[in-house]
């Protein structure tokens, strides 16, 4: 981490709470920040700062009453995004609105828009909102396949994972892909067919040509990311493995869709190596606007903890592979 960037991450953090309000057609309400305020003109989830003595739930109910004229019941947490802006740090605590009544009006003169989830990304929003939009739309679990021991059990494992709800997978075989690339390509083709049956998003580790050939995304190793200045031209998503702030900044500058950051906790695959821990994860997270999966010693039930630190969710090999 460079001195200046580490230094920027200081000072108290403002607690902001915002609501995901949906209508009967599952569209989400965005409000446009009015002129004369910080981040004016950008679209946001309605809400505001938590006042001293208020719980986040009370603050959100108050803000929605004051700004929109509705009575809201606050539901489950979506994500808490720690974010560093040039002149302030905030924690954007986003909750679903379980139910609301009244007629939505822009009582502060703000423009409003009801937006289908797949169109959220086309609205210009503050940096803290990019991970929120990803948390609302994209999978919280990112399975990385283990090295295949035999084809049948590997493909069965993938099928079982997809049946259990895995919706994003990275096909990875560090040994087979080097020792027998033709065999690996055939296995990738069969894996893609299995994943497509359940509409799961598929990426291949490190191999641009394979990504192009099979019409899938590309997972960049940290060493590959270091050589890049622009987004690789692949048919699917691009996600990068990162361990440092400089790598996260590069992943964002290259137009990656997301990053994987860790190890957060110690893992069996890196014995003797301590994890960076959740505090360091959150400190790195707040310096970029990328959605970030946490990796390292994590399993599916850690998604809630991960979301509370601003993560998109959990990436894992063993932790997500069916036994």
Ligand X SMILES: Nc1nc2c([nH]c(=O)n2[C@H]2C[C@H](O)[C@@H](COP(=O)(O)OP(=O)(O)OP(=O)(O)O)O2)c(=O)[nH]1
Which positions touch ligand X (CB under 6 A)?
A: 16, 18, 37-39, 44-45, 47-49, 90, 92, 126, 128-129
**Peptide bond preceding 263 in cis form (omega within 30 of 0):** yes
3-state SS assignment for residue 20 = strand
Q: Which is nearer to ligand X, 18 or 239 (CB)?
A: 18
Measured CA to CA, the distance from residue 57 to residue 61 in angstroms comes to 6
The answer to whether 31 and 112 are in contact (CB under 8 A) is yes
Short-list 28, 31, 17, 21, CA closest to 110 = 31
At its nearest, how many Å lie between ligand X and the CB of residue 283? Answer: 18
At its nearest, how many Å lie between ligand X and the CB of residue 158? Answer: 36
Q: Which is nearer to ligand X, 38 or 233 (CB)?
A: 38
At its nearest, how many Å lie between ligand X and the CB of residue 90? Answer: 5
At its nearest, how many Å lie between ligand X and the CB of residue 46? Answer: 6
Q: Which is nearer to ligand X, 108 or 197 (CB)?
A: 108
The answer to whether 20 and 136 are in contact (CB under 8 A) is yes
At its nearest, how many Å lie between ligand X and the CB of residue 302? Answer: 25
Q: Which is nearer to ligand X, 110 or 241 (CB)?
A: 110
At its nearest, how many Å lie between ligand X and the CB of residue 83? Answer: 6
3-state secondary structure 93-161: EEEEEEEEECCCCCCCCCCEEEECHHHHHHCCCCCCHHHHHHHHHCCCEEEECCCCCCHHHHHHHHHHH
Cα separations (Å) of 139 from 80, 136, 168, 257?
Answer: 16, 9, 6, 13
Q: Which is nearer to ligand X, 43 or 184 (CB)?
A: 43
Helices (H) and strands (E) in the chain, counts: 11, 15
Length of the chain: 323
Buried b (16+ CB within 10 A) or exposed e, 126-137: bbbbbbbbbbbe
At its nearest, how many Å lie between ligand X and the CB of residue 226? Answer: 30
Q: Which is nearer to ligand X, 128 or 192 (CB)?
A: 128
Residue in the shown chain whose Cβ atom is closest to ligand X: 48
At its nearest, how many Å lie between ligand X and the CB of residue 291? Answer: 15
Q: Which is nearer to ligand X, 37 or 270 (CB)?
A: 37
Q: Which is nearer to ligand X, 38 or 71 (CB)?
A: 38
Task: Check residue 231 and report its DSSP letter.
Answer: -
Which phi and psi (to 5°) does residue 198 adopt?
A: -110, 15
């Amino acid at each position: 981490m460079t001195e200046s960037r580490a230094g920027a991450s200081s000072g108290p953090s403002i607690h902001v709470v915002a609501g995901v309000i949906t209508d009967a057609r599952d569209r989400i309400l965005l409000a446009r920040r009015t002129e004369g305020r910080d981040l004016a003109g950008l679209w946001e989830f309605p809400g505001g700062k938590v006042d001293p003595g208020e719980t986040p739930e009370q603050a959100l109910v108050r803000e929605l009453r004051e700004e929109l004229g509705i009575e809201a019941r606050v539901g489950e947490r979506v994500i808490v995004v720690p974010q560093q802006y040039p002149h302030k740090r905030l924690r954007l605590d986003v909750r679903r609105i379980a139910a609301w009544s009244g007629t939505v009006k822009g009582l502060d003169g703000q423009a409003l828009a009801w937006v289908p989830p797949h169109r959220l990304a086309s609205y210009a929003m503050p940096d803290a909102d990019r991970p929120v939009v990803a948390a609302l739309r994209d999978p919280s679990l990112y399975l990385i396949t283990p090295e295949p021991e035999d084809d049948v059990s590997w493909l069965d494992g993938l099928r079982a994972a997809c049946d259990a709800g895995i919706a994003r997978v990275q096909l990875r075989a560090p040994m087979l892909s080097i020792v027998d690339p033709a065999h690996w390509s055939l296995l990738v083709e069969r894996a893609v067919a299995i994943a497509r049956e359940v509409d799961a998003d598929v990426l291949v580790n490190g191999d641009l040509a394979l990504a192009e050939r099979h019409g899938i995304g590309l997972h960049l190793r940290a060493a590959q990311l270091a050589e890049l200045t622009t987004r690789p031209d692949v048919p699917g998503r691009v996600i990068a493995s990162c361990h440092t702030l400089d790598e996260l900044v590069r992943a964002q500058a290259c137009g990656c869709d997301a990053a994987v950051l860790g190890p957060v906790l110690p893992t069996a695959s890196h014995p003797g190596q301590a994890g960076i821990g959740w505090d360091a994860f959150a400190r790195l997270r707040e310096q970029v606007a990328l959605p970030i999966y946490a990796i390292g010693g994590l399993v599916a039930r850690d998604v809630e903890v991960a979301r509370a630190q601003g993560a998109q969710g959990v990436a894992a090999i063993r932790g997500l592979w069916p036994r």
